[in-house]
A and B are shown apart, each in its own frame.
Chain A
Amino acid sequence: MAATSRSLSHSQLVWRRFTRHKLAMAGLIILALFYLVAIFCEFTAPLDPLHRYSSHIYAPPTPLRFIDSEGGFSLRPFVYGIKSELDMQTFRRIYVPDTSKKYPIRFLVRGHEYRMWGLFKSNLHLFGVEPGGSLFLLGTDELGRDVFSRIIYGTRISLSIGLIGVTLSLGIGLIVGGISGLKAGTFDSITQRVIEIIRSVPHIPLWMGLSAALPPDWNPIKVYFGITVILSLLGWTHVARVVRSKFLSLREEDFVMAAYAAGSSEWRIITKHLIPSFISYVIVSVTLSIPGMILGETALSFLGIGLRPPVISWGVLLQQAQNISAVNTFPWLLTPAFFVVLAVLAFNFVGDGLRDAADPYSKQI
């Protein structure tokens, strides 16, 4: 068609190809939701993640109901109050719905007070129930804290570690890989050796060794950045390799030669010609390395040598699932695993979609 024959820029072409990749779009939407929830987690979490509902220890997920005990239907979901009783056979506390109290779920309710990003005071929440009712969407843990709200707060920590770690590895990788690709010689051969050595050490034992060395008296923020740096220690090697090989192959290309012949400065050639021609590869490989970092943090915290409570991350939450008999009795302790897998899957889909879209020779349009 004549109307569409105007030429599109490279990024428009990439975006157009990307949007046709259904799984990648689904992944992008999931990730967007995750990050939105994470950014505004004080507002999106219905309950205070640190508050101990001491009368509701190990309470199961509160079922959302549409039909009440008299058979009446309401479009707005509601929950019943929770009564705790002692099971006379097992001597365990069990929780039964109290059908005399009905709490409809409402949007924008007032609940516990918080400071958004530690700045503004508020008590507005995206959804919740009136005071008096309890809404434990995914149950509570051994201290009676709401698992769902904790997962939402954990999203902020777990997903941001991946992004910061990747930015760090991208920075180091671009610089080291760029220098070693441009100035071949001693620097190049030394970095190549170093990269090979780092890559031949199994990740998890190395991460474990380094994070166990973080001083125990560090405050949570320091530990958080310490872990991020440890995770990017391996990430940069990958970026550096990609960047170096691209520099090596591109500098022989005719358009680079032409730019040199035309008298362009080296800086101009690097920033105007070289980097734009391979940045898509780097972005793809970086996107595909985010899940590895998220999993790294989860694994370390799960083992108890990464982030430590009171910091909330998905790995810290999964620590409670280490005890298999507890998980057997209280299966909702395993729910953070679902979010980990969903986030990793979404990142993989987006990375795959980007790779296909950024490849100028890809035929699947």
Chain B
Amino acid sequence: MGSYIIRRLAYMLITLLGISIISFTIIQLPPGDYLTTYIAQLSSSGTVVDDSLVASLERQYGLDRPIYIQYFKWIGGVLTGNFGRSFDWNEAVAVLIAERLPMTIVISLATLVFTYLVAIPISIYSAVKQYSIGDYIATVIGFIGLSVPDFLLALVLMFSFYRFFGISVSGLFSPEMREAAWSWAKIKDMLDHLWVPMIVIGMAGTAGIIRTMRATTLDELGKDYVKMARSKGIPEWKVLMRHPVRVALNPIISTIGWELPRIVSGTTIVAVVLNLPITGPILLQALQAQDMFLAGSFILMLSTLTVIGTLISDILLAIFDPRIRLD
């Protein structure tokens, strides 16, 4: 088990390295470098930019050095918590990340939990009562969930609630709570708003899990060891939980690794539609303003988040399925 975790950790480090290179590339892609934008901004605000300031800035960001040195400077800064400055917000990128990332994690985790809490019971039911009305309803909902993109679902939900009930489901807090300090009342207010993004983002994942898990449970149900357990007189409920469901859960645990990038992806775009105070809208804004340090850092952090999630799912899988760690 120990060596398995160490191996996974080593893989994770390589992946993180790759991700940091991708993020750095995105930062470097737009024409013009950080400094030209910064100087343009300074002079437009009336500050006199003299050559010594330019030279010191150039040295600070290593812009006079080859690209790989610039990368090492950047990644060195990131590791010590210095992500650079956002000139659009005129603030350290780290501050903006600290503001937005925690809520992104909360929403992603809430969605993940919601997805599993809904999908697992439905798929067990669908498998046990195959071809029942409930099974058909679950299949149809599953197909719709897979086909309706999350941002359209968010739009349609927002539209319907606004039109038919006159309420707005956007945002994560009521207007009076938006600026308030954290308190139980604010948390309760957030939970009241959280269900919309949770359902919207979780819909596709839930549908996907229902499909896979229903199929695996059905496969397992027909196997001999299940018949054997039944013939021993073990109550049906226990047979089901102890054997087919346990086997069918394994692929589900291992899909957390795919589920997380999908959820983070979904969160990004749904947050723009629903105007949630998380990374999505700020990332879009940063990209439109070509505020690349901010945008690249967000992409880096979101990817890191999913990689850590994948690591956790790998470890969980090793705990639940002894066959994996013996590899």
**Interface on A for B, CB 8 Å cutoff?**
193-194, 196-206, 208-210, 212-213, 215, 291, 295, 298-299, 302-305, 318, 321-322, 324, 327-328, 331, 334, 337, 340-341, 344-345, 348
Contacts and interface: CB of A to CB of B under 8 A. Distances in A.
B131 to A, nearest CB: 13
Contact of A295 (B149, B155, B288): B149
Please provide the 6 A-B residue pairs with the shortest distance between their CB atoms, ordered closest to farther: A197-B18, A213-B29, A212-B287, A204-B265, A209-B26, A202-B264
A230 B148 CA distance: 22
Given A334-B155, A341-B147, A344-B149, A202 B284 contact: no
Interface of B: 11, 14-15, 18-19, 22-23, 26, 29-31, 143-144, 146-149, 151-152, 155-156, 158-159, 162-163, 168, 170, 257-258, 261-262, 264-266, 268-269, 272-273, 283-284, 287-288, 290, 295-296, 298-299, 302-303, 306-307, 310
A201 B299 contact: yes
Contact of B14 (A193, A291, A318, A344): A193
B269 A299 contact: yes
Contact of B162 (A200, A210, A328): A328
A298 to B, nearest CB: 7
A202 B303 contact: yes
A213 B287 CA distance: 8
A200 B19 contact: yes
Contacts of B265: 202-205
A194 B18 CA distance: 8
Contacts of B264: 202, 205
Contact of B295 (A196, A198, A199, A209): A209
Given A212-B295, A328-B163, A340-B149, A321 B155 contact: yes
A8 to B, nearest CB: 28
Given A213-B30, A341-B152, A344-B147, A205 B18 contact: no
A331 to B, nearest CB: 7
A303 B287 CA distance: 11
A197 B19 contact: yes
B155 A327 contact: yes
Most buried by A among B152, B265, B266, B302: B152
B284 A305 contact: yes
A337 B310 CA distance: 33
Contacts of A298: 149
A345 B298 CA distance: 32
Nearest to A292: B149
A206 B22 contact: yes
A202 B302 contact: yes
Contacts of B303: 200-202, 205-206
Contact of A201 (B22, B163, B273): B22
Given A201-B303, A204-B266, A209 B296 contact: yes
A334 B288 CA distance: 24
B292 to A, nearest CB: 9
A348 B272 contact: no
A348 B31 CA distance: 39
Contact of B283 (A208, A210, A291): A208
B288 A304 contact: yes
B37 to A, nearest CB: 14
10 contacts: A200-B303, A201-B306, A202-B264, A204-B268, A212-B288, A295-B149, A303-B284, A318-B152, A322-B155, A331-B163
Nearest to B261: A202
Contact of A197 (B22, B268, B302): B22
Contacts of B262: 202-203
B287 A209 contact: yes
A293 B306 CA distance: 21
Contact of A213 (B11, B26, B146, B258): B26
Contact of B310 (A194, A200, A303, A344): A200
Contacts of A210: 26, 29
A318 B226 CA distance: 51
B155 A303 contact: no
Contact of A200 (B155, B156, B307): B307
Given A197-B18, A201-B22, A206 B299 contact: yes
B295 A322 contact: no
B147 A348 contact: yes
Contacts of A215: 31
Contacts of B18: 193-194, 197
A212 B303 CA distance: 18
Most buried by A among B269, B288, B302: B269
Nearest to B287: A212
Contacts of B298: 205
A156 B128 CA distance: 44
Nearest to A217: B31
A324 B287 contact: no
Contacts of A206: 22, 26, 299, 303
Nearest to B211: A352
A324 B169 CA distance: 11
Contacts of A200: 15, 19, 257, 261, 303, 306-307, 310
